[in-house]
A and B are shown apart, each in its own frame.
Chain A
Amino acid sequence: MKVKVDKTLAASIALHVLVIGWGLVSFSTRAFVMPEEDTVDVDVISSDQLSHAMAGQKDGKKENPKPLVEKVADAKPVDDAVGKIDDKKAPVVTETAPPPTPKVEEKPEKKPDPPKKVENKPKEEPKPVEKKPDPVKPDPIAEAIKKEEKKPPPKPVQQAAKPPPEQKPKERVFDESKIAALLDKRDPTRASITGATLNSNAALGTAKGKSADNSATWGAMFRQQVERCWKNKPYGSLEEQRTQVVIDIDLKRDGTLARMPVPETTPSTPYMRVYQESALRAIIACQPYNLPAGWFDEWKAFAPVFKENNT
C-alpha cells in the first residue's frame, strides 16, 4: 500500500529545512563580533568633589589678556557684560527724572534701579536729539517731555518723565503695595562688546583655573589604578589616624614613570617610613597608568596624597 504523503506537510518541512538551513549558514558565516571599545573608567564623585572641580579660581593668573569681543567694530568697552545684546540701536542712557531739587525724597520710588539704561525705540528719534544738546538743564527737557506727553508712543520715557509735567510733588504718595508697578520689568539689554578681533573667551578665570581642571576625572582614574597595588600598607598603628604621605610623580605619555617617585617629606617615624614605602611600592608596581591622553599636560607631573580613609 502506498503511503500517502501530505503534500502540505512535505512542503512545510521542506520550507522549514530551507529557512533553518539558510539561517544556520548565513548567521554562522558572520561571526557576531562586538566592536572593541576602550574601557572608560567611571567614578562616582561626591558633590564636594564636583564643586571643587567646577570652582573658579579668583586668584588665578590672568592668562588671557584679550578682552571679550563679540562684534568687530571700534572698540567700545562695556562695563558690565550682563543682559541680552540688543544692537538695533546704541543704548542711550537717559538721565531719567531730571533732577529738580525739591523732589529729592521721591527719587527712590521712581528710580528703584539707579543705573537704569533705557533703550529708545526707533520711533523716538527726536527725543534724544532734544535731550542731548542740553541734558543738564532740567527745564527745557521738562517742557519737551510735556510736549511729547501728548504723543503716546515713547513709553519708558513717559513713565520716567511723567512727574515733572504734573508738578504735583506733594500729592504723590509712596505706596508700598504698588512698588511692583514702578519697577522696570524689561530685560536688561546692552550693546555688543566690540573690538578689533573677535574673542569669545570671557576673560574671567583662566584655562588653568580649577574650572578647566579635569583632575576629578583623571585623578579618579589614577586612584583606581594605584589602589589596586596599594595592598601592603601597615595597619593598626597608633599613628594611623594622622598618616598622610605626599609623593611627587612624573609620568611619561605612555603612563610609565619618567623617574623614581619622590616623597615630599622625609618620614619622622618608622611607621611613617613604612607607610611611605608602601605607597612608593604601589606607584612603581602599578605602572603604566592608563590616563586620558588629552590631559597629559595636567598629569605628567602631580602629587598623589596617600592617606587613611578617616582623615
Chain B
Amino acid sequence: MTDKIDWCATRIRLDRRQMISGIAAFSALAGAPFRQAFGQEGGRKQIPIPGGDFAPVPIAIPNFAAGTPGDAEVGVGVTQVITNNLKRSGLFAPIDQSAYLEKTVNIDAAPNFNNWKSINAQALVTGRMTRQGNGRVKAEFRLWDVNTGQQLAGQQYDTSAEYWRRIAHIISDQIYERMTGEKGYFDTRVVFVDESGSAQHRVKRLALMDQDGANVRYLTRGADLVLTPRFSPSTQEITYMEFGQGDPRVYLLNIETGQREIVGNFPGMSFSPRFSPDGQRIIMSLQQGGNSNLFVMDLRSKAMTRLTDTPAIDTSPSYAPDGSQLCFESDRGGKPQIYVMPATGGQAQRISFGDGTYSTPVWSPRGDYIAFTKQGGGQFAIGIMKTDGSGERILTSGFHNEGPTFAPNGRVVMFFRDPGGNSGPSLFTVDVSGRNELRVPTPGFASDPAWSPLLS
C-alpha cells in the first residue's frame, strides 16, 4: 500500500516540475496521460546496474531473551543452533556476539538500529523463549532489515520443550527463506550408513540425524551390511538395500515404528531403490542373469512394472520432481553413463558425454540439475549437469567421492568422501555453485547419505 502512495507522490512532483518549466498546467490527476504523452520526458531515466556481487549477509543474532528466569539456557541454545545453521549455509555471516553493543534485545520493541548499523549488520534477529504452564515452550522471533528498519518476518511457535532444536531449525528456515527468496533446508534429517570397527571388520549400521549432525539415532543393529538408504517424500519411511543371509534385497523401514519389510519377493538381487516423488512407488534394479533392469513397484498393489529390457546393467534410477521422467545409469553404450527416459519407460536418451564414467545420478528436487559421481583419471568427482546433459560442473574431486544427495531446496549437495588408507569415509556438503564445502559432523565414519524432505 505504501508503494502506491509513494508512486502517486512521484507523479505529482513531476507535474509540478513540468508546470514550472511552463509547458502546461496539468492537474495532478492527469498523471498517467501526461507520462504517456511525453514518453521519456515524463519517465525517469533508467541507468542499468548489471552485475552486483555475492557476499554472505552479515547478520546479528543476539541471544533469545528468557521469558522466565529458567529459560535463559534454551534461549542461548536456540540462538547457537540458528547461528550455526546460517553460518554453514555459506549465505550468511553471523557477527560474533562479542561485537554487539546490546547483548539482549527486547522483542516487543523496535530495535535501536544504529547500534546494529555500527557493527555493519544488515539483518537482525530478535527472539524470546518462554516456558508455558503445561511444560511446553513458546518461541517468538522477529527478523529485521537494519538499513530500512523494516520487519521482514515474525513468527511464534509453541512446542514441547524437548523439541527446541527443531524450533531453532524452523526459525533458521524462516530467516533463510526470507533473506534468500528460496526454501530453507534446516528442518531436515539425513539418513546415512554409520561405519565403525576396523577396515577388515567394518560394522555398518543405518543411522539418522538432524542435518547439522545432532540427534544421531541408529536404525539397524549392524549384523548385516546395509547400503543406499533413501528417504521417502513422506519422511516416515526409508528404503535401502541390505545383504542378509542370501541375496541383497531392498527393504522398507518405518523410522517411527521400526517396522521393516522386504520390497517384493524376487529371485536374484534387488538393489538401488528410490521412492517416486509421490511416495507411492519404489523404483529399483532387479538382477536378471548377468544384467539388471529397472522395475517400479506400486507399494499398495505390489504390482511390478518393467521399465527397461536391455542386455546391460541399468541401475541407480532417480525420478524428476514432477515424476514425468527419470534418470539412471547404464552401461549399454560400453561403459556406465547417465540416461534420461520417460517415467513410463520408452526411449532412453544418453546425456553424459564427458571423459570417464558417470554413475549414481540424482535428480534435484528443484528440477534443474542432475548430480552424479564421475570416475576418471584415478579420481572420483561429484558434479552436476543440467537435465539435458549440458553445463557439467564438477563440485569436488579427489581419491574417492561418491553418493550425492540433494538438500530439499536443491541448493546444497551432500556426499561422502573417503581419503583412502586406514581412514574411513565422512560426509560433506557443498553448494551447487561449488562453494562452501563443509564436513558434516558424525560420530564415526559415515557414507551413503540421503537427505530427507523438509519435516514441516
Interface string of B350-375 (1 = CB under 8 A from A): 00000000000000001110000000
**Known: A270-B181, A274-B179, A281-B148. Contact between A298 and B45, CB under 8 A?**
yes
**Which interface residue of A237, A260, A282 has the most chain B CB atoms within 10 A?**
A237
**Which interface residue of A59, A227, A272 has the most chain B CB atoms within 10 A?**
A227
A273 to B10 CA separation, bound complex (whole angstroms)? 22
Residues of A within 8 A of B47 (CB): 215, 219, 222-223, 302-305
Q: Please, how many residues of chain B have a CB less than 8 angstroms from a CB on the other chain?
A: 42
Residues of B within 8 A of A277 (CB): 145, 148, 152
Pair B50/A309 contact, Cβ less than 8 Å: yes
A273 to B178 CA separation, bound complex (whole angstroms)? 9
Interface residues of A in 234-260 (CB under 8 A from B): 234-238, 246, 248, 259-260
Q: Which one of B51-59, B68-76, B155-163, B396-404 contacts A?
A: B51-59
Pair B182/A271 contact, Cβ less than 8 Å: yes
Interface string of A204-234 (1 = CB under 8 A from B): 0000100001010001001100110011111
Pair B122/A61 contact, Cβ less than 8 Å: no
A232 to B145 CA separation, bound complex (whole angstroms)? 13
For A226, the closest partner residue in chain B by CB is B49
Q: Is A203 an interface residue (CB 8 A)?
A: no
Q: How many interface contacts (CB-CB < 8 Å) are there between A and B? A: 125
Pair A236/B411 contact, Cβ less than 8 Å: yes
Pair B50/A303 contact, Cβ less than 8 Å: no
Residue in A266, A273, A284, A305 whose beta carbon sits within 8 Å of that of B148 in the complex:
A284
Pair B52/A231 contact, Cβ less than 8 Å: yes
Q: Is A308 an interface residue (CB 8 A)?
A: yes
A213 to B389 CA separation, bound complex (whole angstroms)? 47
Residues of A within 8 A of B181 (CB): 234, 237, 269-275
Pair B3/A263 contact, Cβ less than 8 Å: yes
Q: Is A278 an interface residue (CB 8 A)?
A: yes
Chain A binding surface SS class: mixed
A307 to B48 CA separation, bound complex (whole angstroms)? 7
**Known: A59-B39, A232-B57, A277-B145. Contact between A227 and B180, CB under 8 A?**
no
Interface string of A282-311 (1 = CB under 8 A from B): 101100000000000010011111111101
**Which interface residue of A280, A281, A298 has the most chain B CB atoms within 10 A?**
A281
Residues of B within 8 A of A237 (CB): 181-182
Pair A302/B52 contact, Cβ less than 8 Å: no
Pair B431/A262 contact, Cβ less than 8 Å: no
A306 to B147 CA separation, bound complex (whole angstroms)? 18
A152 to B182 CA separation, bound complex (whole angstroms)? 91
Interface string of B95-138 (1 = CB under 8 A from A): 00000000000000000000000000010000000000000000
Pair A282/B52 contact, Cβ less than 8 Å: yes
Interface string of B367-395 (1 = CB under 8 A from A): 11000000000000000000000000000
**Which interface residue of B7, B51, B145, B178 has the most chain A CB atoms within 10 A?**
B51
Q: List 24 A-B contacts (CB under 8 A).
A: A57-B40, A223-B47, A230-B49, A231-B52, A232-B54, A234-B179, A234-B180, A235-B54, A236-B432, A248-B44, A262-B10, A263-B3, A264-B7, A266-B3, A274-B178, A277-B145, A277-B152, A281-B147, A298-B45, A301-B14, A302-B44, A303-B43, A304-B46, A304-B48
Q: Which residues of B contact A (CB under 8 A)?
A: 3, 6-7, 10, 14, 38-41, 43-57, 122, 145, 147-148, 152, 177-182, 366-368, 411, 431-433
